[in-house]
Amino acid sequence: MTHHPKIGSCLARLLLVVTLAATPILGGRAVAEGPTPPEGTAVVEVDLDALPPLPDGEGLAGAIAGLTDGHLLVAGGANFPNTPRWETDKVWHDAIQVLDLAAADAGWRTLGTRLDRPIGYGISVSHPSRGVISIGGDTGDGFTGEVMAMRFDGESFMLESLPPLP
């Protein structure tokens, strides 16, 4: 079985949208008003443009993303920040950024803590007690089967290694 990074990135975005849809803590800015879907349905229109842009100004592909304790967490990822983009190497990131979704005028906060290494293009899942779980991905030097859980409670960041993929 081969791994296709774009599929992982698309699945991570889909899981983020589904997670946002199922989460009531959004400060009223990211969820469109409308009729309530049937119970158990995790589908709603989400206006990601209502959120402030990430501070790097370049955007990220394949970042770890999800909700943890009322915060949107974005970590790792990759991009082509140098120009001309088609003649430069991809840059892999290990930064961790959080956005407090309950604060109406909050901006992104880049944490002083970083991931153990740059990583992107894995699968991200928001879990109610473990925070954001990152499964597999690419480090720029190859694929990894590592699994980790990340939580941010507004004060501190916790990173927990979980059993790796087989």
For the chain of 166 residues, list the mean pLDDT of each consecutive stretch of 10. Answer: 41 42 41 52 54 83 93 94 88 95 86 95 94 96 96 94 93
The reported pLDDT for the residue numbered 23 is: 41
pLDDT at 4: 42
57: burial class by Cβ within 10 Å (0-12, 13-18, 19+)?
exposed
pLDDT score of 39: 61
CA–CA distance, 102 with 124 (Å, rounded to integer): 21
- Cβ atoms of 18 and 66 within 8 Å: the answer is no
| Buried b / exposed e along 140-151 (16+ C-beta atoms within 10 A) | eeeebebbbbbb
Number of H helices, E strands in the chain: 1, 10
What does the DSSP assignment read for 57-116?
SS--BS-EEEEETTEEEEE--EE--SSSGGGS--EE---EEEEETTSTT---EE-S---S
At 5 the pLDDT is 43
For residue 46, give the DSSP letter.
Answer: B
